[in-house]
Structure 1
């Protein structure tokens, strides 16, 4: 359960930041910025969750290999 909650929170933060940043880069600050951002976030969050959940273990193993850790 801890992994699901962590993944949900982490992917929410990351997709919120990234969708906001990309919306800003593409459109700038407009009258519809927050509406456009929320639409982008709603579209990005499910994939961010799946990616974070599915890639966590392989990335952890790769990190351990790179730094030479066995833990």
Structure 2
């Protein structure tokens, strides 16, 4: 399997992280709001896609800032 160039690391990280996190968060929120099995899946997928549209660009902006903040708070490896 061929690998992507290193320049795609941040966008791929953001894509996967935002997708999984928004999937989980929208699932919990939808379950709390609906809790009916028949309506749950349709509403969850709709909520997830809408949240991912916000989560992906947010992770792209926030992740580098958080990495810098963490780097200031943690000792460098010896």
The TM-score by the shorter chain falls in which range? 0.7 to 0.9
* 2:43 is the counterpart of 1:33: no
2:19 equivalent in structure 1: 12
What stretches of structure 1 move > 6 A for 4+ residues in a row? none
Counterpart Cα distance in 1 of 2:12 and 2:68: 21
* 2:35 is the counterpart of 1:49: no
Using the TM superposition, give the Cα deviation of residue 29 of structure 1 relative to its aligned residue in structure 2, in angstroms: 3.2
Gaps of 5+ in 1: none
Q: Give TM-score, length-normalised by structure 1.
A: 0.84
Which one has a bigger Cα radius of gyration? 2
- Which of 62, 71, 76 is the aligned partner of 1:64? 71
Counterpart Cα distance in 2 of 1:61 and 1:15: 23
Using the TM superposition, give the Cα deviation of residue 46 of structure 1 relative to its aligned residue in structure 2, in angstroms: 1.3
Using the TM superposition, give the Cα deviation of residue 30 of structure 1 relative to its aligned residue in structure 2, in angstroms: 3.1
Gaps of 5+ in 2: 1-7
Using the TM superposition, give the Cα deviation of residue 7 of structure 1 relative to its aligned residue in structure 2, in angstroms: 1.0
Q: Give TM-score, length-normalised by structure 2.
A: 0.78
C-alpha root-mean-square deviation of aligned residues, in Å? 1.6
Q: Report how many aligned residue pairs link the two structures.
A: 70
